[in-house]
Chains A and B, each alone.
Chain A
Amino acid sequence: MFRKYRKKSPWILHYNAGSCNGCDIEILAALAPKYDLERFGVINTGNPKQSDIFLVTGPVTFRSRERLVELYTQMPEPKVVIALGSCTCTGGVFRDMYNVEDGIDRYIPVDVYVPGCAASPELLIDGVVKALEILEEKTKAIEKPFRLFKEASSENGIINRRHSALKVGEKDEED
C-alpha cells in the first residue's frame, strides 16, 4: 500500500570505503543548492538503521571490508546499494593493489553501478533515480545472497583477483 512512497523519500547512507574523496565531494555538490537532491526528499542520514539507499564510494580497502558488510546488514529491508565511481564498481585505478578488494560487489550485492572518476552529480542523480525504480520493486524479505566471485587465488604470496569472476550459471568450487 505504501510502496509508492518509497520513491518519494529515499534516505541515504553514505559510506566511504577508502575513496580518494573525489566522489564524496560530488555527493556534497549534489546535495548543495545547484543540484539540490533534497527536492526529491533525499536526506543524508548517516545512520544505517533509518536509510534506504546505501551509497558506497571507494575501492574497498582491506581494512574497510568488514565495516562495509556490517553496515549493509544493519540496514533494514527494502534497501538498494549504489556503487558510486569507477573504483567502487571495479577497483578503478587501484585494481590489483595488495590492499584493495577491487569493488564492493565482492562483498555485498549491488543494484546500481555509477561509473566515473569522479562520478558527476548528474550521474549520481541518474543513479539514484534508477535505484528508486529498483527499490519500488523490492520486498521486505531479506535478499538471498549469491556469489559473483570465487576466492581470490594467491601465488607466491601475491593475491590475484583478476580471473576470479564467476561466469553466468557457474558455481563456486568451494560451495
Chain B
Amino acid sequence: MYATLILAPLLFALTVLISPLRLRNILSIVFVLFLSAVSIGMNLTLHTPVEASLHQLFHPLFILLDTLVLLYFLWQGVVKNSSLVMLLALLQIVLFGIVLSLSAALDSNDILIESTSTVMYLLINIVGGSIIVFALHYIESEAFGRFKKNAFIAILFFFLSVMNFIVSTNNIEIFFLLFELTTLCSYLLIAYRGEGVSVENSLRALWMNQLGGVAILAALIFSILHYDTVHFDILIANIEEVYLLPIVLLAIAAFVKGASIPFDKWLLGAMVAPTPVSAILHSATMVKIAPYLMLKLAPAMNGFVSLSITLLGTFVFFSAALLALGKDYFKEILGYSTIALLGLMMALAALGTPEAIRACLVLLIFHAISKGLLFLQAGILEKNFHLKYVNDINGLINHSPLVVFFITVGFASLTLPPFGAFIGKFMAIESIAAEIAGSPLYLFALIFLALGSVFLTLLYFKVLTKLFAKDMDAEAGNASPHSPTAYAEISKYYTFPSFLLLFLLVAGIYISFEKELLDSMEIIVPLLLIGLVPLLFATLLFKKAHRVKEYNCGEKEQIKLNMYYFHMPRRIKTYIALTATAALVILMAGVVL
C-alpha cells in the first residue's frame, strides 16, 4: 500500500502535466480523494510495523538521482551567482563521494512503516491534498502559460510523493536523497514567479536547507565509521551513550528543516514570497519532517542531548512567539507561529516520555490542520480582497463572514479548549511538569512554554480583534483601495478545502473524545460555550435595544483606531539568534567531548 502512496502521485504528476484545464481539475480532485482514502486506509489497517526491502536495482538509481540533484544545485549556484549555494553544493558532492566510497556491513530493510509514519501519511495526503485543490483555482489567476500552470500542479503531486516516501524510509542514504528532493521542491516553488524577491528567497531557502544536507551526510559518515550501518533502526538499536554524534547531526538537520531559530529565515522567506500555495505547503506539511525525524531519533538520545534539545525547542517556541508580536504581515505572523510550534513539537519529541510523544503527535496533526486552514484564508484574503497586512483587515466580518469564521476557528483551534492543538499544549505542560522532579533545568523549559503559549494567544487574538473591529473607512465612504469594499464571492475551489479542513478539526474533537485525551465534560462544556456565540448572534437580535455611539468624552468626531504592535529592537533578534546558535554549539561540543 505504501508503494501506492509513493508511486501514484508520480503518475498523477505526469497525467496532470499533459491534460487540459477542465480534465486536470476533475482528475486532480479525484486523485486527492484517492490518496486521502488510501492514507486513511493505511492508518486504520496498520497494526504492526511493515518492513520491506527495495530491489537492488533501485540503489544505483537513487545514487544517480542524488548526483543529479546536487549537480543541479551547483549549476543553480553558478547561474544565479550565489557562492554560498555553490560552496555547499560542492561540499555535499565531496561528502557524498566519501559516503559512497565507504560501505556498511550491518544491513536492514529500506522501508519501515510505523504508526508515526501512518499519521504522517494522513497529514501529507489530506492536508497537502486540500492545498492542491486550492491551488487548482489559484494558479489560473496567474499570468503564465498553460504548461507552466500544469507544471505547478505537477510539482505539488511530485512533492506529495517525495513526502510519502520520506516518512516510509529506514535508510539514511535514501532519506538524504529525499531530503534534498524536498529542498529542490521548495526551491522551485518559492522561485516559481521568477521575480527578484522570489529568487532571492529561494536561494536563501536553498543554502539553508543544504546545511541540513551537509549535516545528514556527516551523520552518515560517522554512522558508517562507528556503527557500520546506514539504517535508522540499527543505528538506534546499537546506540552507545558515549558516541551520539550521528544522532545530534541528524537532529541539527531536523532543526534546519523545521526552520528553528537560527535557521528561521528561509521559512519566513517562503512566506513572503508571493505564492500563497508554497507558503501553505511549507508550513503545513513540509516542515513536519522535523518533528517526525526527532520522534524517530528520540529513543537514542541520552539525558544531556534530550535536555538540551528540549530547552532549545522551548526557547524557540518562546522567542518566535515574541518576535511575531512585532509583525503585521499576516503570513509572516503565521510563519513565526509555525516556527514556534515546531520548536515545541521537537522539544516534546526529544523529551521522549510516552506522554510527551503523544502530545507531540497530537500537536503535529492539529497544527497542520489549523495552519492549513489559516493559510488557505490568507490566500483567499490575498486573491479576493487584496489584503496582506493585518491592519487592513478591519471589519472583515461585514464583507465576508465565512472567511472570518474560518480564521476565527483556525486561531481558536490553536489556543482554546477543546481543540486538538490546545490538548497538545496542555499535555506538553503536563509532561514537562512531570520531568522537573528529575532535573530542575526543565524549569526553564516550563517557563519558556508558559510564556510562549501566552504570547501566542496574545498574538492570535491581536489579529482576531481586527476582524470584528468597526470599519471606519467604509462607513465614511472613503475606503482605501486596499480595504474590502463589498461582500465578495469566493470560489468553490477555495471554500471546499477550507470546509474539508474544518471537518477534520471537528473529527479531531470527536477522536480526542474517543481516546479520552480530556474528560468528556472538559470537551463538551467549552464546545457548548463556543457554539453559543453564533447561537446568541442568531437569537438575540437586539431589536428593543437602542443603538448609540461609543463614548468619546462627548466629542462627535469619529476616530479611526489601528492595531497595536510591540516594538522589538533589532538587538533582541540578534540576542535570540546568538543564544540559539550558542545552544547548538554547546550541544555539539557536549556530544563530541
| A contact residues vs B (CB 8 Å cutoff) | 15, 47-49, 66-68, 70-71, 73-74, 76
Contacts and interface: CB of A to CB of B under 8 A. Distances in A.
Nearest to A76: B546
Contacts of B554: 15, 66-68, 70-71, 74
A73 B551 CA distance: 11
B556 A49 contact: no
Interface residues of B, number: 8
A135 B548 CA distance: 22
Nearest to A15: B554
Contacts of B551: 47-49, 74
A74 B555 contact: no
B541 interface: no
A47 to B, nearest CB: 6
Interface string B534-564: 0000000000001011010111100000000
Interface of B: 546, 548-549, 551, 553-556
Contact of A49 (B548, B553, B555): B548
A67 B555 CA distance: 6
Contacts, number: 21
Contacts of A15: 554
Given A70-B554, A74-B549, 18 more contacts: A15-B554, A47-B551, A48-B551, A49-B548, A49-B551, A66-B554, A66-B556, A67-B553, A67-B554, A68-B554, A70-B555, A70-B556, A71-B554, A73-B548, A74-B548, A74-B551, A74-B554, A76-B546
A16 to B, nearest CB: 11
A74 B549 CA distance: 8
Most buried by A among B546, B551, B553, B554: B554
Nearest to A68: B554
Contacts of B548: 49, 73-74
A74 B551 CA distance: 8
A76 B547 CA distance: 11
A66 B554 CA distance: 8
Q: 7 shortest A-B CB distances, which residue pairs? A: A67-B554, A70-B554, A71-B554, A74-B548, A49-B551, A70-B556, A48-B551
Contacts of B549: 74
A105 to B, nearest CB: 18
Contacts of A47: 551
18 contacts: A15-B554, A47-B551, A48-B551, A49-B548, A49-B551, A66-B554, A67-B553, A67-B554, A67-B555, A68-B554, A70-B554, A70-B555, A70-B556, A71-B554, A73-B548, A74-B549, A74-B551, A76-B546
A48 B244 CA distance: 69
A15 B553 CA distance: 10
A5 to B, nearest CB: 21
B552 to A, nearest CB: 8
A34 to B, nearest CB: 30
